[in-house]
Chain A
């Protein structure tokens, strides 16, 4: 049982480039989400999904797209990277029943120059 996995661990992009951050979980969790964490700040929710085919926006969705074609995978796409998207990105998953304890991946550290 690998839990929540994220790839890559580190990535450097130039402004305007696109890329996809991968997230996968093997716990059959219905709920998956993406957070970003900037230095000295707490985590902020970007997008989330309550099941395959269903996604919704969190508090900071601009500049990011998501899709959920399977229960296991929840990729995060940056269409045109900007320096403001330099951050550490965490993916999380949980069951859709209380108490909703979330399991987090190890994170992807992204730098946009």
Chain B
């Protein structure tokens, strides 16, 4: 599986866009990029995923570079409830893809 690299922590002001980077330079052609987050003491929550194209849903946008070696999760109008650890995970779609491997993630703090 492709390894991911994320900054250990980030801060963002409430109401601003939070941009969380992820490097996955060894990603292969059939591997998706997934983002999950974990709010303190809760179970992880799925946010979004993508393969090649940029994706948007009600929670966030995912921007994947053309070479697919990095991506950025964008929370367009961050609120205090978005304070959490954000995990970027790369997995293929072959059998066993559900076996998510969580790294250390990025601890995002939204400041009032």
Which residues of A are in contact with B by a Cβ distance under 8 Å? 4, 31, 33, 35, 41-45, 48, 58, 88, 90, 92, 94, 96, 98-107
Minimum CB–CB distance from A9 to chain B (whole Å) comes to 10
Minimum CB–CB distance from A110 to chain B (whole Å) comes to 14
Q: Interface size of B by Cβ–Cβ distance < 8 Å?
A: 22
The reply to whether A106 and B43 form a contact with Cβ atoms under 8 Å apart is yes
By DSSP majority rule, is chain B's interface helix, strand, loop, or mixed?
loop
Minimum CB–CB distance from A5 to chain B (whole Å) comes to 11
The reply to whether A94 and B32 form a contact with Cβ atoms under 8 Å apart is no
The reply to whether B44 and A48 form a contact with Cβ atoms under 8 Å apart is no
The reply to whether A42 and B104 form a contact with Cβ atoms under 8 Å apart is yes
The reply to whether B103 and A42 form a contact with Cβ atoms under 8 Å apart is yes
The reply to whether B97 and A43 form a contact with Cβ atoms under 8 Å apart is no
A58-B99, A99-B32, A101-B49 are contacts. A107–B104 as well, Cβ < 8 Å?
no
The reply to whether B100 and A103 form a contact with Cβ atoms under 8 Å apart is no
* CA A102 to CA B37, docked complex, whole Å: 12
A90-B43, A90-B44, A98-B97 are contacts. A43–B91 as well, Cβ < 8 Å?
no
> Smallest CB-CB separation from B48: which chain A residue?
A101
